[in-house]
Structure 1
Amino acid sequence: MSLVPAPQTSGSEEDAQLIDERKRKRMLSNRESARRSRMRKQQHLDDLLSQVARLKEENSQISMQVNLLTEQYARLDSENTVLRTQVMELTDRLRSLNSVLHLVEELSGMAMDIPEIPDPILKPWQHACPAIMASANVFQC
């Protein structure tokens, strides 16, 4: 085996080789840094896309809940309107019955305990006869 002597280089050539080696290392380092940066950006993008999908699903569920609650509110509001109308009708009938009782009281001379009927609109929590329960069909003619 013959050994080939390394070519003799001058100092400026050595400096140029060192500079080239540094450039090469810096270039590799920059490429690796850029690769890591692209990976971080891709991961961030993936995270954001995942978050968008999750938030869309959550938004859809909330929207369905809002729709269900809106329908429920409409039903209850309609039912309340019917009940208020029934209260007014029953209150009017009770007033008529009380008038008859007052007339009977006057004509018979017997004292009767006839309670006052509160105005259901002004004081809906006060009921003249809380034990009376009526359905919508009870007094239909």
Structure 2
Amino acid sequence: MYQPVSSGSDGDVRYANLDERKRKRMISNRESARRSRMRKQQHLGDLLNQVSKLQAENSQFVAKINSASQMYVKVESENNVLRAQLMELTDRLNSLNSLLRVMENVSGLNADVEELPDALLEPWQSPCPVQLPVMTNTADMFQF
């Protein structure tokens, strides 16, 4: 068999040092790769926890939005009922005022029939609208 020519024990030490350095480098690389895999696994776990928290938050927001939407529909419905009642009462008042005018003309008595002020019929056009309190914390808007 072929044996490498070496100058005594000096060559064996060089190969031994080279093999030892190679072995240490392999061990170091394996350890580094293991740490890298552990960091990657930890990062993945952190991301999965974050996804769970964000999904829970999202569900809470959806529930709050649905609740606010339901409240809006309820208030809108009540508002429509009140508008209809206002129109009905306005018509009744106008009819009564007309009747009083007719009676005033027939009897000759003064009934002092006053017209319904526009501010009462259209409060949004009132010169001094009612001031509603301003909420200082917008987060309070979604507290039900």
Task: Please give the TM-score of this superposition, normalised by the length of structure 1.
Answer: 0.73
Residue 74 (structure 1) shift:
1.2
Alignment root-mean-square deviation, CA: 2.1
Is the contact made by 2:104 and 2:111 (CA closer than 8 Å) also made in structure 1?
A: yes
1:9-48 pair list within 5 angstroms: 10-48=9-47
Aligned to 2:65, what secondary structure does the other structure show? helix
Q: Deviations over 1:113-138 (max 9, x none)?
A: 51344283xx24469xxxxxxxxxxx
Q: Deviations over 1:51-78 (max 9, x none)?
A: 1111111111111111111111111111
Aligned partner of 1:4 in structure 2 is none
Distance 2:110 2:96 in 1: 17
Name stretches of at least 5 consecutive residues in structure 1 with no aligned partner. 1-8, 128-141
Is the contact made by 2:97 and 2:113 (CA closer than 8 Å) also made in structure 1?
A: no
Aligned partner of 2:115 in structure 1 is 115
Q: How many residues align?
A: 117
Aligned to 1:114, what secondary structure does the other structure show? coil
Aligned partner of 1:105 in structure 2 is 104
Opposite residue 72 of structure 1, the aligned amino acid is: M
Is the contact made by 1:105 and 1:111 (CA closer than 8 Å) also made in structure 2?
A: yes
Opposite residue 50 of structure 1, the aligned amino acid is: N
User: Is residue 87 of structure 2 the alignment partner of residue 76 of structure 1?
Assistant: no
Structure 1 or 2: more helix by fraction? 2
Aligned partner of 2:4 in structure 1 is none
Is the contact made by 1:101 and 1:114 (CA closer than 8 Å) also made in structure 2?
A: no
Identity, % of aligned positions? 53
Distance 1:111 1:72 in 2: 45
Higher mean displacement: 47-56 or 109-118:
109-118
- Which aligned runs of 4 or more in structure 1 are off by greater than 4 angstroms? none
